[in-house]
Amino acid sequence: MASRPTAVGPNAPSEDRNAGPGSSFFKARLDVPTSEVPPDLPHGVAPADEPPTKPPVLEGPDITRLQILFQNLTYTVQVKPAKKGGDTSKSILKDVSGVFEPARLTAVMGASGSGKTTLLNVLAGFYKAQDKLTGDVLVNGKAVTKEKMRRISGFVHQEDVILHTMTVREALEFAAALKLPSSMTAAQKSQRAMEVAQLLNLHKSLDSVVGSSMIKGISGGEKRRLSLGMEMVTEPAVLFLDESSSGLDSFTAFKVVHILRSVAHLHGRTVVCSIHQPSSEVFHLFDDLVVLAAGQIIYLGQVQDMVGYFGALGYHCPNYTNPADYLFMEVLNAPAAAGDDTEAAPQADGANGHGHHLPRLPHLPSLPHRHGHAAAGHDAEAGKHAAEAEAEAEAAAKAALSAAEAAHAAEEQRIASLIAAWDGSPQAAALHRSLTSRRAAEAAGISKLAESAVAPFWLQAPLLARRALLNAWRNPLVFRGKLAQTVFLSLVVGLIYLQVSDDLAGVQDRQGSLFFLVVEGLFGSVMGILTVFGSEKPVFQREFGTRLYGLPAYFISRWLVELPSHIILPVLFSCICYFMIGYQATAAHFGWFALTMVLMDNSGAALGIFVSCLFNDLSVALSVMPMFLLPLMVFSGFFVNSDTIPPYFTWIQYISPMRYGYIALAKNEFAGLQINCSPDESCPPGYNGAMVLANMGFSDKGSVGQNLGILFAMVWALLLLAYVALWLAVRRLVK
């Protein structure tokens, strides 16, 4: 369609020039002319549901229109061979060529596994470095790198992965603050976020949380529009959407695609969506259509020409049929429509003519039943019938397998004929000539303003920290739940070991209680942080993959937010249980005890972060955690004396935080402790805390401060390992 006039230069409104780069993208409400909207709108679409009214004012270089040209794309991935000596690679896209025009809304359709998502990922720059990609991707006639493509385009994934405790307003402002250039003020960025909310009809839900399966939040349609809005705050010249209407009802899907159509037509954006069997109303909102089959193009052209093209190939669209349903049922998934031998492959689902066609299994004769002694005389005859039935069943199975293989081969041949028909069509020839001429033309280039900005570390870290704090406050299990758990466990431990005595039995109680506290400090922190980090990992991977922020900013800010709770809660735990148990009541002893509990809690948190970074799946991380904790606990010095550990297991004690924590607590408590043995207890003369430490094998294991110094170093070592593990896990997302 013809583009609208633009206001450029000094005559443009001054308020737009002062609002930051590209601010006019959302300044005016949109108006979709009646001629642009198909007459068969779904019943119930009210004017209020349509995007806003009044042509936008677009300014100079900000309106760079980008044409995406791709030629001879072949994308090959490494796969595990199905059998020994089989292929280790698979081509998902095979010699794909085409063009996506600006100011056009393009649909990419095809059966499952046809390569729709892969094509979008490749064009948007989201593919693995180890996979093989050949061919060219040009933007306005100029070759671009995948990194450049990511900066000039927005990509909305099929799954809406947004932190569930954020409100719509916070999610949009968070994206705007990180993606928009630093030349814009915070107020201008916030204004941009609100303009996006208005455009996407999210203004009524600004203060509603996103929600999850456990927390009621916005609807699926609003969540989809929010994902779209988080990409649109930067006014991307190119917008890719994977399954834009997936999981939405037909009315909500229509509204989403209607907005996309407006963005493409009225703002000159290049909008490309993969979509699966849209309704007729949604289908007619698209301008252009790309149909993929087996990783190759079988149609590329205008939507209204699709039915005529396939009709000329013998795939006739019945009257009053949704063209999208016709495409899937008659063209992509119906061998009989292409003239297959229906006698050899009768319909499997009756006479509807849809679906794959496989022969029915022949009726198998029933095996004879035996009834008491009367059946004994017919054993020979029954055996004969059984053998015949088995032979018939085997023959039927072979026939069914052969028929299935024949049907599969016929389907592959039919798809190959569709591919060949497109390759030899006048439309494909015209496209090839057009692509060749455009490659030879002078490249128009890409405006710097078409690229999204990358926020500096000093801006990323505070924003991420603020979001993490809000998430912790709104999620009762993150802090308030741990607070209640801390108070409860400290009271329970204090009541179990209430005011231990200073006799021989008290020595045993002290040893048991100190080890229990060490284990609780590590285990409680490990499981809590593992759950929190594991549940947030998908959000981090999605945002980091789109380069919303860097790994250092995320890791450091996330740890700094966690740190206060791993100091306050252990100190609170110490204050409650220390004096209830009746340990040595001096300020120095209590101070060393509390510091040890703080370091044990932090070492557990660091270990939990490390394990959560090692494994991508939270359930896997939770299941393997005992494998890490059990050896550390066994060789901590409580169950096995450190002097009697077998040589091949000796090394484990030196990497156990529980060992250093237990030694520190034991030395702190038993050093200088006077033990008063009762007459019925057999104690050596002058028995005291130093002798207890000698019996435990801790006499030569350093001072309290030395053990805590090692424990402090282990916390930082585990954090460093966690950072490296997380970097290794996500580096493929940005390659």
Instruction: Write down which residue in 426, 450, 474 finishes a domain.
Output: 450
Q: Are 529 and 643 members of one domain?
A: yes
Checking 402-410 for CB contacts under 8 A at 24+ apart, the result is 403/344, 403/345, 403/358, 403/359, 404/358, 406/344, 406/345, 407/335, 407/340, 407/345, 407/356, 407/357, 407/358, 410/335, 410/340, 410/341, 410/345
Q: Are 444 and 582 members of one domain?
A: no
Q: Are 441 and 565 members of one domain?
A: no
Tokens found for residue 349: 């689902």
For 596-620, what is the mean pLDDT?
91
pLDDT value at residue 190: 94
Which amino acid makes up residue 453?
Answer: A
- Of 139, 341, 158, 172, the C-alpha closest to 247 is 158
Q: Confidence class of residue 5 from pLDDT cuts 50, 70 and 90?
A: very low
Could you tell me what percent of the chain has a pLDDT over 70? Answer: 80
Q: What angle (nearest 5°) sits at the alpha carbon of residue 657, between those of residues 652 and 661?
A: 125
Cβ pair 525, 601 in contact under 8 A: yes
pLDDT of 183 > 50? The answer is yes
Tokens found for residue 209: 């949380």
pLDDT of 165 > 60? The answer is yes
pLDDT value at residue 674: 85
Pick the range with the lowest mean pLDDT from 84-93, 412-421, 554-563, 662-671.
84-93
Query: What percent of the chain is helix, strand and coil (3-state, nearest 5)?
Result: 55, 10, 35
Q: Confidence class of residue 528 from pLDDT cuts 50, 70 and 90?
A: confident
Q: Are 472 and 326 members of one domain?
A: no
Q: Are 597 and 717 members of one domain?
A: yes
Round to whole Å and give the CA distance between 78 and 83. 14
pLDDT of 335 > 70? The answer is no
pLDDT of 334 > 70? The answer is no
pLDDT value at residue 241: 93
Round to whole Å and give the CA distance between 522 and 525. 5
Q: Examine residue 238 and state whether it is found in any structural domain, yes or no.
A: yes
Q: What is the dihedral of CA 674, 679, 684, 688, to 10 degrees?
A: -10
DSSP state of 304: G
Q: What is the end-to-end Cα distance of the chain in Å, rounded? A: 37
Tokens found for residue 508: 């045993």
Q: Examine residue 673 and state whether it is found in any structural domain, yes or no.
A: yes
Q: Which has the higher per-residue pLDDT, 559 or 730?
A: 559
Q: Which domain holds residue 616?
A: 457-487+515-733
Could you tell me what percent of the chain has a pLDDT over 90? Answer: 39
Q: Examine residue 62 and state whether it is found in any structural domain, yes or no.
A: no
Round to whole Å and give the CA distance between 125 and 112. 22
For 103-121, what is the mean pLDDT?
92
Q: Are 584 and 692 members of one domain?
A: yes
* C-alpha to C-alpha distances, 475 to 403, 464, 531, nearest whole angstrom: 57, 16, 12
| Residue in the block written with tokens 């018939």 | 392
Q: Examine residue 604 and state whether it is found in any structural domain, yes or no.
A: yes
- Of 562, 604, 381, the C-alpha closest to 472 is 562
- Of 125, 19, 217, 36, the C-alpha closest to 734 is 125
pLDDT value at residue 730: 83
Which amino acid makes up residue 58?
Answer: L
Q: Examine residue 570 and state whether it is found in any structural domain, yes or no.
A: yes
Kind and range of the H or E element at 463? helix 457-474
Cβ pair 43, 279 in contact under 8 A: no
Q: Confidence class of residue 383 from pLDDT cuts 50, 70 and 90?
A: low
| Mean per-residue pLDDT over the chain, rounded | 80
Q: Examine residue 594 and state whether it is found in any structural domain, yes or no.
A: yes
Instruction: Write down which residue in 450, 474, 505 finishes a domain.
Output: 450
Q: Confidence class of residue 381 from pLDDT cuts 50, 70 and 90?
A: low
Q: Which has the higher per-residue pLDDT, 659 or 64?
A: 659
138 strand-pairing partners: 69, 143
| Residue in the block written with tokens 């009697």 | 644
pLDDT value at residue 706: 95
Report helix angle 504-545 to 704-730, nearest 10: 20
Q: Which has the higher per-residue pLDDT, 9 or 169?
A: 169
Q: Confidence class of residue 306 from pLDDT cuts 50, 70 and 90?
A: very high
Q: Are 232 and 313 members of one domain?
A: yes
Q: Examine residue 18 and state whether it is found in any structural domain, yes or no.
A: no
Q: Are 129 and 228 members of one domain?
A: yes
pLDDT value at residue 586: 93
- Count of domains observed in the chain: 2
Cβ pair 95, 73 in contact under 8 A: yes
- Of 325, 292, 299, 328, the C-alpha closest to 313 is 299
For 281-307, what is the mean pLDDT?
93
300 strand-pairing partners: 290
Cβ within 8 Å of residue 406, ≥6 positions away: 344, 345
pLDDT value at residue 686: 75
Tokens found for residue 398: 């072979």
pLDDT tens, residue by residue, 336-378: 433 333 333 333 333 344 434 434 444 444 444 444 544 455 5
Q: Are 556 and 443 members of one domain?
A: no
pLDDT value at residue 83: 67
Q: Are 101 and 178 members of one domain?
A: yes
Q: Confidence class of residue 296 from pLDDT cuts 50, 70 and 90?
A: very high
Q: Examine residue 191 and state whether it is found in any structural domain, yes or no.
A: yes
For 587-597, what is the mean pLDDT?
96
Q: CATH number for the domain including 83?
A: 3.40.50.300
- Of 499, 523, 684, the C-alpha closest to 608 is 523
Q: Are 184 and 323 members of one domain?
A: yes
pTM value is 0.76
Q: Are 680 and 707 members of one domain?
A: yes
pLDDT value at residue 118: 93
Kind and range of the H or E element at 290? strand 288-293
| Residue in the block written with tokens 């005595």 | 501
Give φ, ψ of 468 to 5 degrees: -65, -40
Round to whole Å and give the CA distance between 194 and 26. 9
DSSP state of 242: E
pLDDT value at residue 82: 64
Round to whole Å and give the CA distance between 60 and 447. 10
Checking 423-431 for CB contacts under 8 A at 24+ apart, the result is 425/309, 427/300, 427/301, 427/309, 428/300, 431/97, 431/98, 431/99, 431/300
Instruction: Write down which residue in 402, 425, 450 finishes a domain.
Output: 450
